[in-house]
Amino acid sequence: MSFTTHTTRSGFLLPSIHSVPPFFTEQPNPTTQSQNISQWTRLILAYARHRRLFVLRLEDAETSGGDWDEVLRNERINRRVLPSHLSAIMESMITNGQAVYEPPKQTRAVLLYWRLPEEWAEVLHSWATDTANLNTILTFYEITDPPVPSPLSDIPITLLRRVIAVLAKTGRAQVISTGRTGSGEENEGVRFFSGGK
């Protein structure tokens, strides 16, 4: 038997370890377990980046049919990640700053940082510069759903807020409250400034 890489239907290249049966079991030896977790973390973040997935939930391991089936399951060897295993992986990602619990104060869903907020900040700022959106007020919606798809399309609002906060710290962005919409939601906007780093 030999362990090979596999290209999924979405065009993602799974590493050869994904075809190794024990990869899908939590390891009782702490050293082995930490290797297992770090391999999983790398795989999950790479897949999230490939498919632009921002959220990982325990449900993804509990039931099939979600966005994560290609990674959390391997039908070819009949193995899947069990929820407790996924929970341990999530916990380690939180500890290493590669994800945050979202919403906070629960442990069933995480927001994945396949780019750190600091990295997103640079992406966001150069997007604003390139699209000539400096010094004007943009709504969050205009950023997450721009007419021309951008690297920031579909970025979750919670992550966007953190990213803007990073820029605000260096004086390159300012959050502006534009009152409330008819439905009572707070309507927020942001203004970007060129500002050197």
Partner 1 sequence: MHRLGGVGLAAFERQIESQRSFAELSSELSKAQVDHLHSQLTQFRTALSHFAATHRDSIRRDPAFRHAFQQMCSSIGVDPLAGPRKGGWWAEMLGLGDWQYELGVQIVDVCVSTRERNGGVIEMSELVRVVSKLRGVSSGVITEDDVIRSIKTLQPLGAGYEVIDVGGGKKMVRSVMKELDEDQAVVLSEAQSEGGRIVEDILVSRRGWARERARAALENMLLRDGLCWLDEQDESTGRSYWVPSAMRWDE
CB of 109 to partner 1, least distance (A): 25
Tell me how far, at minimum, the Cβ of 23 lies from partner 1, in Å: 8
Minimum Å gap between C-beta 104 and partner 1 is 32
Query: From the CB of 92, what's the least distance to partner 1, in Å?
Result: 16
Closer by beta carbon to partner 1, 31 or else 95: 31
The CB-of-68 to partner 1 minimum distance in angstroms stands at 18
Binding site for partner 1 (CB under 8 A): 1-5, 16-17, 20-29, 31-32, 35-36, 78-80
Task: Output 189-193 pairs: Cβ under 8 A, ≥24 positions apart.
Answer: 189/137, 189/138, 189/139, 189/140, 190/137, 190/138, 190/140, 190/143, 190/164, 191/135, 191/136, 191/137, 191/138, 192/125, 192/128, 192/129, 192/133, 192/134, 192/135, 192/138, 192/167, 193/134, 193/135
Q: Is 92 exposed, middle or buried, given 0-12, 13-18 or 19+ CB atoms closer than 10 A? A: middle
Asked whether 56 and 90 are in contact (CB, 8 A), the reply is yes
Pick 29 or 183: Cβ nearer partner 1: 29
In the bound state with partner 1, the residue whose beta carbon lies nearer, of 4 and 95, is 4
Residue placing its CB nearer to partner 1 in the complex, 78 or 181: 78
Choice between 28 and 65, CB closer to partner 1: 28
Strand, coil or helix: what is 180? strand
